[in-house]
């Protein structure tokens, strides 16, 4: 009898988690380089609580993973010459955050007092030859589409733009950073282009997220009603069957 309640409960738990994911998407609707996420659901065939031989098993809802859409977001012009955006899906700037390599799509960089190109969070941006050091007195840095940085017409370095064959290997670390969670090796992304004076926005689609929000709420309400009904049914049967005469 409790099967319906348990199946309903499994859906309620995933719906709450879905809401958490949607809430995070909406909170990051204005975050530089943010990639939208979605909870991936699957059916988990389980044993019934009773009557296992007579009827087939029941299917519970289970969240299998979070899918990330690495699609390109719109570029916003900032006119700041240390702001960079990548045009090209799934490509990242390579960073060194002290603990090792990290990757980001958020190209709002700055210089530290020694002239090293850094993220706002303090990770050093990596070029072909390690850290990128700029001497501002040589002139304003200009960056070409392939990442080559030049000052006064002289090339002084090149931004490393890399990608992974399997993007699922990346783990989000907060602060716009991604970490490599597998043994996959980053390869140079030759087709991706660097745009100077621009930042990539977030690829969250607000209309879609609000629709998801409504859907989650309604589904939650109807599952709750189903649990209520199942509960009602068992209560009434206990009442009726227990009546004598």
Half-sphere exposure of 21 (CA within 13 A, CB side): 20
Q: Is residue 21 classed as helix, strand or coil in its secondary structure?
A: helix
Among 2, 128, 165, 228, binds another protein (CB under 8 A): 228
Contact range with another protein by CB under 8 A, out of 18-26, 48-56, 86-94, 141-149: 18-26
Tokens representing residue 74 in the block: 């719109």
Q: What is the dihedral of CA 168, 171, 175, 177, to 10 degrees?
A: -70
As measured in angstroms, the least distance from the Cβ of 228 to another protein is: 6
Quick one: which segment of 9-17, 42-50, 51-59, 153-161 binds another protein (CB under 8 A)? 9-17
The dihedral built from the CA positions of residue 187, 191, 196 and 199, taken in this order, carries a sign that is negative
Footprint on residues 52-111 left by another protein (CB under 8 A): 63-68, 78-82, 106, 108, 110-111
Asked if residues 35 and 69 have their Cβ atoms less than 8 Å apart, the reply is yes
Shortest Å distance, C-beta 223 to another protein: 9
Residue 65 or 71: the one with the smaller Cβ distance to another protein is: 65
Whose tokens are 């044993």? That residue is: 47
Would you state the structure tokens that stand for residue 187, as one six-digit string? 């390869």
Residue 195 lies near another protein (rule: CB under 8 A): no
Site for another protein in 198-227 (CB under 8 A): 199, 206, 209-210, 213-214, 216-217, 220-221, 224, 227
Q: Does 153 bind another protein (CB under 8 A)?
A: no
Among 1, 2, 23, 146, binds another protein (CB under 8 A): 23
Residue of the chain from 7, 39, 73, 194 that contacts another protein (CB under 8 A): 39
Structure tokens at 176: 């716009």
Quote the Cα angle for 91-117-153, to 5°.
Answer: 90
């Amino acid at each position: 009898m409790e099967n319906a309640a348990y199946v309903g409960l499994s859906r309620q738990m995933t719906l709450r988690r879905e809401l958490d994911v949607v809430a995070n998407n909406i909170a990051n609707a204005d975050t530089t380089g943010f990639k939208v996420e979605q909870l991936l659901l699957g059916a988990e065939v389980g044993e019934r609580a009773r009557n296992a031989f007579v009827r087939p098993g029941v299917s519970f809802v289970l969240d299998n993973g979070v899918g990330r859409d690495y699609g390109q977001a719109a570029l916003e012009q900032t006119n700041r010459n240390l702001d960079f955006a990548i045009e090209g899906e799934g490509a990242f700037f390579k960073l060194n955050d002290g603990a090792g390599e990290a990757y980001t799509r958020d190209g709002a960089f700055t210089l530290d007092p020694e002239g090293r190109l850094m993220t706002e969070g303090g990770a050093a941006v990596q070029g072909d030859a390690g850290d990128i050091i700029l001497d501002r007195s040589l002139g304003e840095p200009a960056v070409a589409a392939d990442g080559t940085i030049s000052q006064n017409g002289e090339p002084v370095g090149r931004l490393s733009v890399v990608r992974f064959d399997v993007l699922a290997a990346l783990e989000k670390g907060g602060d716009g950073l991604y970490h490599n969670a597998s043994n996959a090796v980053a390869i140079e992304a030759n087709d991706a282009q660097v745009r100077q004076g621009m930042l990539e926005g977030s690829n969250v689609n607000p209309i879609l997220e609000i629709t998801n929000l409504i859907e989650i709420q309604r589904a939650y309400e109807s599952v709750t009603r189903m649990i209520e009904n199942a509960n009602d049914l068992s209560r009434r049967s206990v009442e009726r069957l227990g009546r004598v005469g």
